[in-house]
Structures are given as C-alpha cells and as structure tokens.
Amino acid sequence: MSTPTQLPSFWSRLSLAFGTFFKTVGDAEFAARVRDDQVGPVAAPPAPAPVAPPAPAPVAPAPVLLRETTPEAALQLLTLLQREARLIDFAHENLAAYADADIGAAARVVHEGCARVLKDHFTIAPVRSEAEGARVTLEEGFDASSVRLTGNVVGKAPFKGTLSHRGWKALDVRLPQLSREHDASVLAPAEVEL
C-alpha cells in the first residue's frame, strides 16, 4: 500500500470506527474531546457514534472471515496462473542460462495463459477512459484511491494534469468455487506417469 496521501484504508478505518465507538461510550472525557474537536460528531448524544458504521454493523464478523479466505483466493489464482500460463515454472527459471529466442518461446506460453486467466476470471477495465497523454481535470472530491496524483502536487482541486497511465480496475472477479476439503496450497500436483 504505497498511497502517498497516508490515508487509512477501509479496513483500518473500520477498526478505527469500532475503537472510537467503544471509547466514546466508555470514556466520558474522550467523548467530550470528540464533541469539541471540530472533526468528530458535534452533537453531544452518543447516538451519532453508532451511525458512523451503519452498514458494517451486521457485517461485523466479516474481517475475520475474509482474512481466512484471502490466502486461499491468492493460492487459487496462483494455481490458475501455473495451470494455464506455467507462471511459477517460468519465475523459477534462471534466465541467464538461456538465449532470448528460448525465453521468447516460453514467454508465449506465459503470455497466452496469463491473458486467458485474466479474461476468464476477471472483468478488467481502465480507470480513465481518456487516451494516455491527454489533459485531464480532477474536480473536487475525486476518488483518491482510483487516481494517484504525482509530481507537483500542490494547491487545491480542481487539479489539471496529463494522464500518464489509464489505470486498471477489476469490475468483476469470477474465481472458481472450491470444495470443502480441497487443499488450495497445492498449486500444481506432482505428476507420475504409470
């Protein structure tokens, strides 16, 4: 996470919100600071605090569940990239030992397979529809997570600049479902020909 703005991510904001909630309820002095610091909720009643995480409330156990599935999804993606594109084989090779023509031949396998995995399991679209090199204007309140400001970052929005990379965004992820007993850590089974 190399966001230059140092903004907390969604999950850290979530845990921050929960922490603030319980501290506001339990610690009157802290609650008073929240009330008076011009940043937190101004109204005194503690009601606003629960309003802050309205949607996450029923999803409260979600962070735990996701932490469990994340490595599995990553392993799954690696399995797919190995199966279709031989990516792990490729990355483990020592390129110094081969001529560029040989590497090029293998790169075709990897490229074709990676493209297939991306196409079959994700819907990927550019963040910005303008051509690279075009002048763009970022209005106030633009989404800082999908547009990164670089270079002479000073002043106030609207920001005017040149689009150097269009960015990518996954509109849809379609990873295969796994059976309960499936061991996702086996990225490619050993093969034994009888």
Interaction site with another protein (CB under 8 A): 76, 79, 83, 86, 89-90, 92-93, 95, 97-98, 101-103, 105-106, 108-110, 112, 174, 176-183, 191
Of 49 and 85, nearer to another protein (C-beta) is 85
Q: Which residues of 158-187 are buried (b: 16+ CB within 10 A; e: fewer)?
A: ebeeebeeeeeeeeeeeeeeeeeeeeeeeb
Min dist. Cβ of residue 177 to another protein (A)? 4
Q: What angle do CA 41, 42, 43 make, to 5 degrees?
A: 100
Of 43 and 97, nearer to another protein (C-beta) is 97
Taking a C-beta distance cutoff of 8 angstroms, is the pair 57, 18 a contact?
A: no
Min dist. Cβ of residue 179 to another protein (A)? 4
Closest to 40 measured CA to CA, from 24, 25, 56, 29:
24
Min dist. Cβ of residue 193 to another protein (A)? 8
Of 104 and 126, nearer to another protein (C-beta) is 104
Min dist. Cβ of residue 176 to another protein (A)? 4
Of 157 and 175, nearer to another protein (C-beta) is 175
Of 37 and 120, nearer to another protein (C-beta) is 120
At 60 the three-state DSSP class reads coil
Rounded-to-integer distance, Cα 77 and Cα 83, Å: 10
Closest to 113 measured CA to CA, from 77, 71, 62:
77
Min dist. Cβ of residue 73 to another protein (A)? 12
